[in-house]
Structure 1
Amino acid sequence: MKKNKFSIMMLAMLLSISVMLSGCNVINDLQVKMNLKNNEFEYIKQNKVDKIIIQSVRDSGFRFVVRDDKAIGDIYNILSKGSKVSQKSSYDPDYVFEVYTGTDVKKYNYVVGDNGHDIGNFYDDNTEFSVPKNLENTIMQNLSFIRKPREFNYIYYEAILKVIESKKDSLSNGNKVGVDIQSDTDCLKYIFSVDLEEFKKKLAKTLPNVSLVNGDQNFDTIIKVKNRGYNTTTFKTLITVENSKDKSTENYYVVAEYDYKDWNIKVSEPNKVPQNW
């Protein structure tokens, strides 16, 4: 009698577990059909992922390796919530993800910030996904050892615009002007395609004949940007204006200090090094 009772209890437990698992599968299938999640990244959950390498596209020396199981699980959770879409982002990718499972390596491109509902900001050669913004946050958490300047997007681009504004008259005089940020290696890791597009719009409003240097191009004037140090409250940038017509060079020393929710940006006179430099 006791044996029969025990068998019935075990059967009831197995039935309950089966119903629960079945319910989970139904919910999962429903979410996939509604495009609220996808099953494309189940291999990350099911297989032993050795590592995920995340490489900056602009800064070849900047890459980091994710080996921690929890961090890999966090990435999986975010990617699995991505919606399949029919088109990828028009912006250049900011990062390349390489997922290593044994001898197999899967590669994906990621555009930071461009996560509109119908835009694929995480994609490979075959499929595009619109993934949540918190993938960007997960990346930055892994970069916590890097002291990103406070309000970097504002202070970095505003310093350049202030120098251009101060020389607007001479730069507008039939010059083709290029802004070169490609050699600013200390800051390339913080420069993303979406932010660059916004910067290009502001450049066009300030000076119609200016564009970003991209590869081998001929410019009458090149404005080169080179960071000279930063922390959360101080930002220094050397901006050099090289004029190929008269072979002249001018250095502008930009010092910005954060003071009570605002940046105080000071641009030096040409070739004059400030005392606090």
Structure 2
Amino acid sequence: MKKPIKSIITILVIILSFNLTSCTLIDNIKGKFKKDNGYFDYLLSGKVDVISIQSVRDKSFKFLVTDEKAIQSMHELLSKAKVSEEKSDLQPDYIFEIKMGSEIKQFNYIVGAYEGNFYDENENFTVSKRLDESIIQNLSIIRKPRDFEYIYYNSILDVMNLKKEVLNNGNNKIGIDVENDIDCLKYIFSTDIEDFLSRARKITSNVEIVNNNEEDFDIVIKVKNRGHNTTVYKSNITVEDKKNKVEYYYYIVGENEFKEWNIDIYTKDNVPKEVEKNW
């Protein structure tokens, strides 16, 4: 009788071991396919007083989220964020502060970055879709020009092409100054700037965005918005050549007709009286 008992015990041990292994395997598989990261579950605790979202470039552009449904919506998005080993090296576009009593959690957010675009000091996440699509867009300024990225950056590139010989005359260091274009700062994102610079460097290779260091550049291209809505865009772009002490001044007029932008560029010598009068 001892041998059958030993055999039965052995079989039970094997079955038990198999079950434990199977459970572990299933748990591992579930872990790999788990949709929520669990890191932001505190957003559902009911203890969040307010979430502030501050533009890094435009200090006046800040809004507060206190509505419980909006906070839940944010959790829905952030819970799907992928944990990343590294954070993006681009400049943040927004700072998120989540206040719970005396505790404040702060995150940097880069709109549209593909890897590590939402992070704090301890964790890096990749948000698979832009936060502004679900939250920021609903609270943003409705007068944002249609196809803003197209009209804004292509206007600068058109002026750069006009002054291509000046920009490339010698080993000039070129700076693009958008930091004083107050009306448009809320629409300027790091990923768009990165794309713009890659195109600008096809015109002149030694070009960077001015970041409180205008004195470091030989030529500075300054952009100043003069009014915009969904169909009309106006701005002044100046090209300041410090070496030769020359400044080139341009009027930019963009009109959206039949879903396409037409961009006209005028100098002080050829600007139509009607345009100058309504400037």
The interval holding the TM-score normalised by the smaller chain is 0.7 to 0.9
Contact 2:234–2:254, Cα closer than 8 Å, also in 1: yes
Task: Return the alpha-carbon distance in structure 1 between the equivalents of residues 64 and 189 of structure 2.
Answer: 20
Quote the residue 1:81 is aligned against.
80
Q: Output the CA distance in 2 between the equivalents of 1:214 and 1:38.
A: 36
Percent of pairs with identical residues: 49
Q: Which amino acid aligns with 1:218?
A: D
* Structure 2, gaps ≥5 residues long: 1-26
Offset, 1:140? 3.0
Contact in 2 for aligned 1:252/1:272 (Cα 8 Å): no
Q: Is the 8 A contact 1:111 1:193 kept in 2?
A: yes
2:183 is the counterpart of 1:186: yes
Residue type of the partner of 2:81?
A: G
Residue 176 of structure 1 is matched in structure 2 by 173
**Residue in 1 that maps onto 2:21:** none
Distance in 1 separating the partners of 2:182 and 2:30 = 43
Normalising to structure 2: TM-score of the pair? 0.83
Amino acid at match of 1:156: Y
User: Per-residue displacement from partner, 1:83-114 (whole Å, max 9, x unpaired)?
Assistant: 21211112121111000111111001111101
CA 1:107/1:263 → structure 2, altered by over 3 Å: closer, same or farther? same
Counterparts in 2 of 1:41 and 1:32: CA distance versus 1, 3 Å: farther
How far apart are 1:33 and its partner, in Å? Answer: 4.4
Contact kept in structure 2, 1:50 and 1:100, CA below 8 Å: yes
Distance 2:201 2:222 in 1: 17
- The residue type paired with residue 139 of structure 1 is I
The residue type equivalent to 2:195 in the other structure is E
Secondary structure of 2:212 counterpart: coil
Q: Secondary structure at the match of 1:207?
A: coil
Shift of 1:29: 9.9
User: Does 2:133 align with 1:137?
Assistant: yes
Number of the residue aligned with 2:259: 261
Give TM-score scaled by structure 1 length: 0.83
The answer (yes or no) to whether the contact 1:253–1:272 under 8 Å persists in 2 is: no
- Asked if the contact 1:250–1:271 (Cα under 8 Å) also holds between the matched residues in 2, the reply is no
Larger Rg: 2
Offset from partner CA, 1:15-49 (integer Å, 9 cap, x none)? xxxxxxxxxxxxx9976543532111111101321
* Mapped partners of 2:142, 2:99: distance in 1: 25
Q: 1:242 aligns with which of 236, 240, 243?
A: 240
Q: Which runs of 5+ in 1 are unaligned?
A: 1-27
| Aligned equivalent of 1:197 | 194
Structure 2 partner of 1:49: 48
Aligned CA-pair RMSD: 2.1
- 1:147 partner letter: R
